[in-house]
Structure 1
Amino acid sequence: MLNALFGRKTVMPAAAEALPGRAEPIATAEEHFVFHRPLKSPVPEGMEEAMFGMGCFWGAERRFWQIERVWLTMVGYSGGYTPNPTYQETCTGMTGHNEVVRVIHDPRVVSYEALLRAFWEGHDPTQGYRQGNDVGTQYRSGIYTFSEAQAAAARASREIYAERLRAAGHGEITTEIRPAGPFYFAEDYHQQYLAKNPGGYCGLGGTGVTCPIGLTA
């Protein structure tokens, strides 16, 4: 059945069409491979969370853990319907989920604007349901916000970056910006994949156009 669904990879399913998933979370890593902190740590007091989809989550996560003094990163599935999906289910396009990276940071040290800059510059946000050679709804560009302040900053940054992209001859931004829904952890082997496999695949590539926000963070 799953193989028969691959033709729908570039069409978002309706909620009634989505795979049923499961009640229990799938197994994942206990510890962050790079930071050696518990992967399921609650957000510490004074810190905030952010969430982004920008293509294959292997390269997206590395982009954020490499930002100095980011506290924790993790990859998973969000933005769709299926509870506790597996990677195989998400790859069918029938969960509605995006591959996302969740970032925990201290905004006094690493601003949300600095994360937005890394997001915009780290991928091509004009490609719709794909990123490079990776094709499917799970590779769409997305910013999933946890507050109205984040939403306002994300919308403002999109307007600024859209102007820069148009001036450089690129197409229109396709990035979705919406409130964050449930985050479902991806399997153990996906967490910090490119730290465990330094020569592993990363299909992310930016446009080469700089984003003029977060420059002083």
Structure 2
Amino acid sequence: MALQHLLVLLSGLGFGLSLIVAIGAQNAFVLRQGLLREHVLPVVLVCALSDIVLIVAGIAGAGAVFALAPVLITVVTYAGAAFLLGYAVFAARRAIRPSALAAGGPAVAKTLAATVATCLALTWLNPHVYLDTVVLLGSIANTHGDERWWFGAGAAIGSLVWFTALGFGARLLQPVFARPMAWRVLDGIIALVMAALAVSLVIRALTGA
């Protein structure tokens, strides 16, 4: 690998991490699944592979489609806001009702299909993923000309490393979450994050910000 390729790859890695290392709906979900040790590998793969697909689409020029058809972003925005609000309600119920907790976590585990479906919705119904990953990252990658795919490879590596660390590293916090109260606090925070994101999406759609 030439030094120039390595530098572009590292640039993509850093930029990709800057977009995903933040408190958000997707990261909150991955963290929770990691703490539960429930379907962690499928969740990590769904998030990472979704990011890779979006990165490739952005570099290939899909960002231009969203720029020409902003109505697509509007539709995803409202759908995403509705889903996030519903998820916030369920998280709030788990936080308010101690009976929904058992042995440091929910008494009833979700099926793999339900977990993957939720993860897909949190990923693909988030309009920011199109604006940040497809449009912004794709645009910056294309400034590197023929080396744009090295930039994309770096961003893809960043996504895979981050979600793997978040999902499987969450178990290090297991001693803290051995107490049901810790789960109530986490679910309360998740409910607030999801609700805040839903409201911000609606406001942005209405104001065109």
Q: Output the TM-score relative to the length of structure 2.
A: 0.25
**Higher CA-based Rg:** 2
Name the one with the larger helix percent. Answer: 2
Q: Output the TM-score relative to the length of structure 1.
A: 0.24
